[in-house]
Amino acid sequence: MVEALLEKPSSQRYHEGIFSALKEQDSQVYELITKEYERLQNSLQLIAAANQCSRAVLAALGSVVQNKTAEGFPGARHHGGCEVVDDVEKLALDRAKDAFGAKYANVQPHSGSQANQIVLAVLLERGDKVLSLGVEQGGHPSHGGPGSLAGKFFKIENYHVDKTSFLLDYDAIREQAVKVKPKLIMCGASAYARKIDFKRFREIADSVGAYLLADISHIAGLIMAGAHPSPIDYAHFTTTSTYKSGGPRGGLILMGKDYDLQTKVSGRDMPLWKCIQDATFPGVQGTPYFNHIAAKAVFFEETLSDEYKARQFKIIENAKRLASDLLDLRYDVLTGGTDNHMILINMENSREALTGATAQKCLEDCGIIVDMMKLPYDGKQASITSGIRLGTPIVTRNGMGTNEMDSISVLIDTVLRAVEIISDRQYKISESVKNETRDKAKELCSKFPMR
Ligand SMILES: *Cc1c(COP(=O)(O)O)cnc(C)c1O
């Protein structure tokens, strides 16, 4: 197999035909990738935390810049031969700033979680206080959840959503901030279907002298398109993962009007943005991934297009339609609907004894892919949960509209009504429902091929 590679005609450039090179060299991995492609194409992808990048982004991810080692930042690298990757990174930075209307960008974070770690590393000393939304209330583990690095080194206090409305209660958050006096307030969520008032959060942060970090991982695409208010000039720091909005896997740190605020760090006066650079490298990471940075550049350019912007509004339109369909079918949709791409449903209140785990599993058997989700004030353990979370980014990307949302809601209801519940995790579903629904899901997906 290795010989086959070595015998490549010398006229063939190294980076051409890379997918057939994989097929020739490693059929096992090639077949698994092909299987995953077929799984994605043939089942309904309703994961709110997932998206599908363009073929151009995919190509940049599999390109030769991945081979370049270059510690540091453009114009200030440790290694030789960086003139091309410097241009790649500068292009990604310019486009990121354009896409978000930001004054500073950092495209090096390997993930959204690491972007958060970098900001925490900049601002906090061991034992400093952070106020963030609890993981079991819709927050993200990297906001100081138990078991996360932040949870280990900093004092984390959590704010909550209201017990009956499941909405953020800004007055209560303000009161808590006054009591806690945190050095940093984190906002942004992984499971919250309504708008987030970043201006309000900044007022709260200012009233207690705290920094504000807005983590927009789930809604970055909506924000770039103007379909959700932007935190860029309200928060001191905005972080995001780049894949949930349709780009490559990776993270991003942005800053708005406070980017050059002078700050004292270990006795030295520095602008905030410079602190972020130093905390990225050598603080938290080593060498950047230039294939991901090139792919981010391709993606940020895509987000400026009319097609991308219009799609973000369609994602919301589809989510609203799916939510209202499911409400009509008597599902307990949290907050009665959605303002973004996601829908949270309490399964236990929708059908007696139905758990999130059972719903996820039986829907998966039938070609419908969703996440179980621990909802605010959910009495069930994390591996069972009372809820599920649905999202419309992928189905919308592939061209589905409100008619298809109607069909999807019927498929979901057919499965959840047919399932025979045995325990929190055990169930039975008839072969005929399974096969029929799977075929219908597959047929629907075949009309909207991945693109
Ligand atoms: C998904 C998510 C992250 C993590 O991003 P990764 O790139 O997967 O590490 C961080 N914050 C929030 C709010 C998220 O939803």
pLDDT(9) > 70: no
- pLDDT value of residue 46: 98
What does DSSP say about strands 104-106 and 251-255: parallel, antiparallel, or unpaired? antiparallel
CA–CA gap between residue 26 and residue 41 (Å, rounded): 23
> 27-42 and 431-446 helices cross at what angle (nearest 10)?
90
The four Cα atoms 119, 124, 127, 130 give a dihedral, to 10 degrees, of -60
Q: Give the CB-side neighbour count of residue 424, counting CA atoms within 13 A.
A: 10
- For a ligand 1 pocket test, name from 237, 241, 245, 289 the mutation site with the most ligand atoms within 8 angstroms of its C-beta: 241
Q: What percent of the chain shows pLDDT beyond 90?
A: 93
Q: Which residue has the tokens 């952070």?
A: 130
Tell me the CA–centroid distance for residue 239 and ligand 1, in Å.
9
Tell me the CA–centroid distance for residue 432 and ligand 1, in Å.
38
Average pLDDT for 47-53: 98
Average pLDDT for 37-48: 98
Nearest atom, ligand 1, residue 114 CA: 9
Average pLDDT for 214-231: 98
Nearest atom, ligand 1, residue 190 CA: 15
> In which band, very low, low, confident or very high, does the pLDDT at 102 lie, cut at 50, 70 and 90?
very high
Average pLDDT for 294-309: 98
Nearest atom, ligand 1, residue 111 CA: 7
Closest C-alpha residue for ligand 1 atom 5: 112
Q: Is 182 in the pocket of ligand 1 (CB under 6 A)?
A: no
Which tens digits make up the pLDDT trace of 136-173?
999 999 999 988 888 999 999 999 999 999 999 999 99
Average pLDDT for 100-128: 96
Which tens digits make up the pLDDT trace of 359-402?
999 999 999 999 999 999 999 999 999 999 999 999 999 999 99
pLDDT(268) > 90: no
Q: Which residue has the tokens 């299987």?
A: 35
Nearest atom, ligand 1, residue 244 CA: 1
Question: Is there a contact between 143 and 314 (Cβ–Cβ < 8 Å)?
Answer: no
> In which band, very low, low, confident or very high, does the pLDDT at 189 lie, cut at 50, 70 and 90?
very high
- For a ligand 1 pocket test, name from 107, 110, 113 the mutation site with the most ligand atoms within 8 angstroms of its C-beta: 113
Other Cβ atoms less than 10 A from the Cβ of 325: the count is 21
| Cis amide prior to 282 (ω within 30 degrees) | yes
What is the SS3 assignment for 90? helix
| Domain segments of the chain as ranges | 64-303, 307-446
Average pLDDT for 296-307: 98
pLDDT(264) > 90: no
Residues forming a β-bridge with 371: 389
- pLDDT value of residue 4: 55
Q: Is 138 in the pocket of ligand 1 (CB under 6 A)?
A: no
- pLDDT value of residue 147: 87
The maximal CA–CA distance of the chain, rounded, in angstroms, is: 71
Tell me the CA–centroid distance for residue 113 and ligand 1, in Å.
6
Average pLDDT for 259-269: 86
CA–CA gap between residue 109 and residue 272 (Å, rounded): 17
Which tens digits make up the pLDDT trace of 88-100?
999 999 999 999 9
32: burial class by Cβ within 10 Å (0-12, 13-18, 19+)?
Answer: exposed
Instruction: State the pTM of this model.
Output: 0.96
CA distances from 231 to 178, 205, 271 (A): 22, 13, 20
Q: Which residue has the tokens 């039986």?
A: 362
Q: Is 49 in the pocket of ligand 1 (CB under 6 A)?
A: yes
Least confident of 67-81, 262-276, 367-381: 262-276
Do 64-303 and 307-446 come out as alike in CATH topology? no
Q: What percent of the chain shows pLDDT beyond 70?
A: 98
CA–CA gap between residue 35 and residue 77 (Å, rounded): 40
Close Cβ partners of 12 (under 8 Å, ≥ 6 residues apart): none
- For a ligand 1 pocket test, name from 217, 240, 243, 371 the mutation site with the most ligand atoms within 8 angstroms of its C-beta: 217
> In which band, very low, low, confident or very high, does the pLDDT at 2 lie, cut at 50, 70 and 90?
low
Which CATH architecture describes the domain 64-303?
3-Layer(aba) Sandwich (3.40)
Average pLDDT for 61-77: 96
pLDDT(296) > 80: yes
* CATH of 307-446 among 3.10.20.30, 2.20.28.120, 3.90.1150.10, 3.40.50.1110: 3.90.1150.10
Question: Is there a contact between 434 and 367 (Cβ–Cβ < 8 Å)?
Answer: no
Q: Is 190 in the pocket of ligand 1 (CB under 6 A)?
A: yes
CA distances from 450 to 10, 90, 104, 222 (A): 34, 31, 34, 21
Mean pLDDT (the chain) is 96
Q: Is 292 in the pocket of ligand 1 (CB under 6 A)?
A: no
Q: Give the CB-side neighbour count of residue 167, counting CA atoms within 13 A.
A: 13
Locate all alpha helices (DSSP H) within 183-263, ordered by sequence.
198-207, 220-224
- pLDDT value of residue 149: 87
Tokens coding 82? 């960086």
Tokens coding 214? 């807005």
